[in-house]
Amino acid sequence: MATGKINVSVENIFPLIKKFLYSDHEIFLRELISNGTDATLKLKHLTSIGEIDVAYGNPKIEVKIDKENKTLHVIDQGVGMTKDEVEKYINEVAFSGAEEFLEKYKDSAKDSGIIGHFGLGFYSAFMVANKVEIFTKSYKDEPAAHWVCEGTTDFSLEESDRTERGTEIILHINEEDSQFLEEGRISELLVKYNKFMPVPIKFGTKEEELPLPEDAEKDAKPETVEVDNIINNPTPAWTKQPADLEDEDYKGFYRELYPMQFEDPLFHIHLNVDYPFNLTGILYFPKMGQDMNMQKDKIQLYQNQVYVTDNVEGIVPEFLTMLRGVIDSPDIPLNVSRSYLQADGAVKKISSYITRKVADKLKALFTNNREDFEKKWNDIKIVIEYGMLSEDKFFEKADKFALYPTVDNTYFTFEELQEKIKDNQTDKDGNLIVLYASNTDAQHSYIEAAKDKGYQVLLMDSPIVSHLIQKLESSKEKISFVRVDGDNIDNLIKKEEEKISKLSEEEKEKLKADFEKVIPAGKYTVQLEAMDSNASPLIITQPEFMRRMKEMQQTGGGGMFGMGNMPEMYNLVVNTNHELISEILNSKTEKKQERLIKQSLDLARLSQNLLKGEELTAFIKRSFDMVK
């Protein structure tokens, strides 16, 4: 029997491991199963290249709980270790067995899926155990070994009578970590971290019914047998080639990832690249509507089929974190950190690749079946619009497939929209004016006024529309977006000809003074405009800049403008050519004039949903009195 000291440079490595190796102690099980997977895949690789002459068979990793002895067992049927290898790979913590293996077989082993960093991963066991044992038998014709350590730098290592190839690690669980002796807790961790490991993982057994023979009697009951309970899917969809998968396979995998999600995704994007980095995965577009937050943290990050995190910020561009799915890359470390991601060049390349791949897929969907793409637009537009705002390269590509629906449910790309409206919606200064509505019901009268002029009105109702408009205006020449209720329609797109007012300058001055006496001080700015006589007598508008800044601030922008505490300010546009305005001007009594102004103003406010509470009650009572 040999004894000795583990070759580490600090005496207090175990307290450091317990405190700092991983922030979450539950990670230990992921690490031990990863090591068992490495050992199994090593065996597979060495047998496949003829390096060793043993049968690979159908190995599995087994996890067992022994409550009576307060132990947790992780057993693999991989390459195993000799006594010398235990000394080398376990006791010399800084030396990684998997790294040495990859270096030795770097040409043939690059696709074998070996995770690496065996040493430190194994020592995560001491976060939850006060004593750890290893029983291991190498594929080589050498005696088995038994290693024991009780959480100090002292260990014992001796020969063992184990006869089966592979390794069994026994964790004597600490009193304070007794949760890891509960079946439910271990099952939860296995599903969380090891659901798609490439080697089958057994955790207990389950009963399974045998199929009845064809000649069985009508009321015969099927026989049940005990079978291994395999908790993982070793060949998930993302590990296969797209050509080998049908649409139903992708939907089935989506349900496997999100068993509580009952709606199918709209479409998927299969990622598969091996240069200049390795990355596979599947991203799904779920139905999103207008919500920008509820979908986040739904993309799962894996490293060689080992779960790492669902916080993929830095790897996946921000605008795509609303999607769902899986990304798997051996180029991202298991112990991933935000600072690493921000600094790592490979991660930045991965992010750029994913952006490009998503843009290309969206373009293909648009090109191949535009009608279907239009049907899905409202459910995916929030992601595309957010991407156009946040990623310049995505904006350039999205310009070819991003859609701009009108209030009449027709869809244009921006290029098509420009062509459609350039003759009718170019103002006297040569600017193309794009009219849009954000709510077809609330802005119905304004939309109708625009349509009477033959203008196209877009429906832009996403929560980030103000930001998107700013981006579009800054990236395209001589284009302005104006909300359809922003002013009198003739002022929204100013042409050469101007309407002539029926009122003289003196009459206009008097009319303005009459209105300013009645309307609430400081809230409305009275503007007199000569419009068509059949247009509304009064129109309430809000200055485009102010409204846009307030909307941007509500969705996380515009704060620099200090708009948050500014009072609501509106323009009250008075149509000097309307007969009601003439009646107000020529009222016989001041009382009648005040009543007409108040009633007309309240009707205009009502059309903009600005009349509420006590003022609304007073308006209704006054209106009933007028009817009487």
Domain boundary among 205, 220, 252: 205
Asked whether 427 and 490 are in contact (CB, 8 A), the reply is: no
User: Do residues 459 and 523 both lie within one domain?
Assistant: no
* Beta strands 166-173 and 2-5, pairing class: unpaired
Residues pairing with 75 in the sheet: 62, 168
Helix (H, G, I), strand (E, B) or coil at 451: helix
User: Which residues are bridge partners to 468 per DSSP?
Assistant: none
Quick one: pLDDT band at residue 522, thresholds 50, 70, 90? Answer: confident
Amino acid identity, residue 327?
Answer: I
Question: Has residue 350 been placed in a domain?
Answer: yes
Decide which of 572 and 10 is more confident: 572
Closest CA to 156 of 75, 90, 81: 90
Q: Which residue has the higher pLDDT, 192 or 568?
A: 192
Report the binding-site residues: 31, 35, 76, 81, 96-97, 167, 338
Same domain, 275 and 301: yes
The mean of the pLDDT values for the chain is 84
Based on the domain organization, do 517 and 466 belong to the same domain?
no
Q: Are 564 and 553 in contact (CB under 8 A)?
A: yes
Q: Which amino acid is at 94?
A: A
- Contacts with 171 (C-beta within 8 Å, 6 or more apart), sequence order: 28, 71, 72, 73, 74, 125, 128, 129, 131, 132, 180
Residue 93 has pLDDT above 80, yes or no: no
- Per-residue pLDDT at 330 exceeds 90: no
Q: What's the distance, CA 347 to chain centroid? A: 17
Q: Could you tell me if 167 and 288 lie in one domain?
A: no
Question: 416 and 361 share a domain?
Answer: no
- Give residue-wise pLDDT tens across range 38-54: 899 999 999 988 888 88
Report the distance separating Cα 600 and Cα 519, nearest Å. Answer: 11
More confident residue, 269 or 108: 269
Cα–Cα dist 346/333, whole Å: 11
- Point out the least confidently predicted range of 73-77, 140-144, 338-342, 613-617: 338-342
How confident is residue 81, by pLDDT bands cut at 50, 70 and 90? very high
Distance CA 279, CA 271 (A): 7
Give domain status of residue 386, yes or no.
Answer: no
User: How does DSSP classify residue 126?
Assistant: G
- Phi, psi at 347, each rounded to 5°: -65, -40
Residue 561 has pLDDT above 50, yes or no: no
How does pLDDT run across 62-75, given as a tens digit for each residue? 999 999 999 999 99
- Examine the pLDDT at 247 and tell me if it is beyond 80: yes
DSSP state of 88: I
Mean pLDDT of 368-385: 93
87: domain CATH number is 3.30.565.10
Please tell me whether residues 29 and 176 are part of one structural domain.
yes
Pair (40, 140) in one structural domain: yes
Q: Put the strands of the sheet holding 432-437 in their side by side order.
A: 457-459, 432-437, 479-483
What is each CA distance from 488 to 254, 290, 469, in whole angstroms?
50, 29, 21
The helix/strand/coil state of 460 is coil
Of 548, 540, 558, residue with least CA distance to 611: 540
Q: Please indicate, yes or no, whether residues 38 and 146 belong to a single structural domain of this protein.
A: yes
Binding residues for ATP: 31, 35, 76, 81, 96-97, 167, 338
End-to-end, the C-alpha distance of the chain in Å comes to: 110
Looking at the fold, whether 39 and 175 belong to one and the same domain comes out as yes
Contacts 24+ apart (CB under 8 A), 587-590: none
Sheet holding 306-309: strands in order across? 267-273, 279-285, 324-328, 299-303, 306-309
* 3-class secondary structure per residue, 573-620: EEECCCHHHHHHHCCCCHHHHHHHHHHHHHHHHHHCCCCCHHHHHHHH
For residues 146-156, one letter each, b for 16 or more C-beta atoms within 10 angstroms of the residue's C-beta and e for the rest, the string is bbbbebebebe
Q: Please tell me whether residues 200 and 255 are part of one structural domain.
A: no
Given this model, what pLDDT does residue 21 score? 54
Which pLDDT tens digit goes with each residue over 390-448? 999 999 999 999 999 999 999 999 999 999 999 999 988 889 999 999 889 888 888 99
The residue segments making up the domain with residue 72 are 12-205
Residue 333's pLDDT is: 62
Count the domains in the chain.
Answer: 4
CATH of the domain at 512: 1.20.120.790
* Residues contacting 148, CB < 8 A, separation 6+: 131, 132, 133, 134, 155, 156, 157
201 and 249 in one domain? no
**Residue 140 covered by a domain:** yes
CA distance 144 to 83: 7
Rounded mean pLDDT of 353-358? 90
pLDDT at 558 over 70: no
In a domain, 200, yes or no: yes
CATH classification at residue 448: 3.40.50.11260
Here the tokens at position 240 are: 């296969």
**Selected residue with higher pLDDT from 191 and 290:** 191
Residue 538 domain flag: yes
Instruction: Give pLDDT, residue 13.
Output: 56
If pLDDT is split at 50, 70 and 90, which confidence band does 183 have?
very high
| 187 and 64 part of one domain | yes
Asked, for residue 216, whether it belongs to a domain, the answer is: no
> Do the domain assignments include residue 199?
yes
Of the candidates 319, 341, 368, which is a domain's last residue? 368
Q: Tokens 């995770």 sit at which residue?
A: 115
Q: pLDDT band at 294, cuts 50/70/90? A: low
Tell me the three state secondary structure of residue 571: strand
Least confident range from 400-404, 533-537, 570-574: namely 533-537
Burial category of 217 from C-beta neighbours within 10 Å (exposed 0-12, middle 13-18, buried 19 and up): exposed
- Between 20-24, 81-85, 98-102, the lowest mean confidence (pLDDT) is in 98-102
Rounded to whole angstroms, the Cα distance separating 63 from 74 reads 5
pLDDT band for position 120 (cuts 50, 70, 90): low
Within a domain: residue 378?
no
For residue 222, pLDDT over 70 is answered with: yes
Structure tokens at 492: 């929204």
Q: How confident is the model at residue 236 (pLDDT cuts 50, 70, 90)?
A: very high
Final residue of a structural domain among 368, 388, 417:
368
Q: What are the two backbone dihedrals, phi and then psi, of residue 40, each rounded to the nearest 5 degrees?
A: -70, -45
Task: Categorize the per-residue pLDDT at 115 as very low, low, confident or very high, splitting at 50, 70 and 90.
Answer: very low
What proportion of the chain, given as a percentage, has pLDDT over 90?
40
Asked whether the bond before 242 is cis by omega within 30 degrees of 0, the reply is no
